[in-house]
Structure 1
């Protein structure tokens, strides 16, 4: 399983283009840009429809299945599907997500678009193009699911954004999963009073501890922090703090190669 991080940022990206805080200024000075979070698996499975174009050199032409977590605009951007319609791609496409996602996307599809919309809710399990896809409950402001994806070779990924502290049932659903890669959101950094369905540098390690206790995260799991906002410290500082938690940063455009029981970073840092 090859997982390419198309974006690792929060809704407003990092740096926020309107912001002059120290974290945004540092990122801007280093030429570091984090687009809204999205990932591409094996060139064929897309996780979230982000509004930003992919990093240079990455094409979505091979995508046959899209998993959308929820209908917030940074995860469910209809223009992405309209762009596909404009080039008249004839290959079938399946878009999977909670019912509000499908309601948002449906008006943007042409009458002859070969696009199938499939509703899921927590607990749903689907099989598409050789992948086993399981939807798990999130703690968020709108109907949202997380995705547990098992690849063609048995490698296993947990895509966990957007969510606050994980529901007990979700943690239980990961029991013994021993994920090879976990993409876990960490939006708010050192801002702890945000009152949203997101994680920060206090609740992020708590969720890792819960996943480790359930056997979802093991010593071999590659934990990558995503959905990163500018309330975090500058990237170098954040990377050091995450390392102490057994997690790490990767750059937009980086590809993580996951094999059952083993994961390694291929490109990016």
Structure 2
């Protein structure tokens, strides 16, 4: 399984265009932009519909399934489906997600567009061209799910954004999973007490500990922090913090090949 990070940022991206703080200033100085979080699995399975186009070297032409976590516009931006329609692609496409996300998508589809809307809720299981998908509970402000994806070769991914501290049902559902790759959100950095369905540098390590306790994260699991907001420290500092927690930081456009945990810049 090859997972390409199309975006690793929070809803406002990083740097936030309105922010002059040290974290955003550092990102601008280094010319690093983090788009809203989204990922592409093996070129065929898209996780979330970001409002930002993917890195220029990435094509979505082979995508047959889109898994939307929830209807917030940084994760469910149906303009990208309209762009697909303009190309007049005849290949069928499945868009799966919670009911509110599908209702947000529906008006953007042409009557003859070969797009199938597939409702999911926590506990839903799907089989898509050799990929096994389970929707898991998220702790968020709107109906939302996390995705457990197993590829045709048995490689296993947990896509865990947007969520606060993981529900007990999710921990139980991931017991013994021994994921090859976990993409775990870490939105608020050093800001705690934000009262949102997101994680920060206090709750992020606690979730890793909980996932480790149930065997979902093992010494062989590659943990990558995503959905990163400008409340985080500058990237160099954040890289060290995450490394001490057993996680790492990657850039938009990087890819991870599971089982060997290899990052390939520019995917």
Give yes or no for TM over 0.5.
Answer: yes
Equivalent-residue separation in structure 1 for 2:81 and 2:188 (angstroms): 29
Within 5 Å, which residues of 2 pair with 1:100-115?
Answer: 100-115=100-115
CA distance in 1, matches of 2:35, 2:113: 28
Report the Cα offset of residue 18 of structure 1: 1.2
Aligned to 2:264: 266
The match for 1:202 is 202
Q: Secondary structure at 2:245's aligned position in 1?
A: coil
2:16 aligned partner = 16
> What is the CA–CA distance in structure 1 between the aligned matches of 2:235 and 2:147, rounded to whole Å?
26
Q: Distance in 2 between matches of 1:5 and 1:179?
A: 17
The aligned counterpart of 2:219 is 219
Structure 1 residue 267, shift from structure 2 partner: 2.8
1:244 aligned counterpart, secondary structure = helix
State the partner residue of 1:128: 128
Aligned-residue offset at 1:73: 0.1
What corresponds to 1:231 in structure 2? 231
Contact kept, 8 Å, 1:6 with 1:39, in 2: the verdict is yes
> d(CA) in 2 for partners of 1:267 and 1:156?
22
* Residue of structure 1 in register with 2:35 after alignment: 35
* Residue 265 of structure 1: how far off its partner (Å): 2.0
- Paired residue secondary structure (2:184): strand
Q: In structure 1, how many angstroms separate the alpha carbons of the residues matched to 2:22 and 2:250?
A: 20
Q: Which residue of 2 aligns with 1:174?
A: 174
Residue-by-residue CA offset, 1:193-239 (whole Å, 9 max, x unaligned): 21100000000000000000000000000000000000000000000
Q: Which residue of 2 aligns with 1:94?
A: 94
TM superposition shift of 1:268? 5.7
Find the aligned partners of 2:57 and 2:162 in 1 and give their Cα distance. Answer: 27
- The number of residue pairs the alignment matches comes to 267
TM-score (norm: length of structure 1): 0.98
- Asked if 2 retains the 8 angstrom alpha-carbon contact of 1:69 and 1:98, the reply is yes
Instruction: In structure 2, list runs of 5 or more residues that go unmatched.
Output: none
Normalised by the length of structure 2, the TM-score is 0.99
RMSD between superposed Cα atoms in Å: 1.0
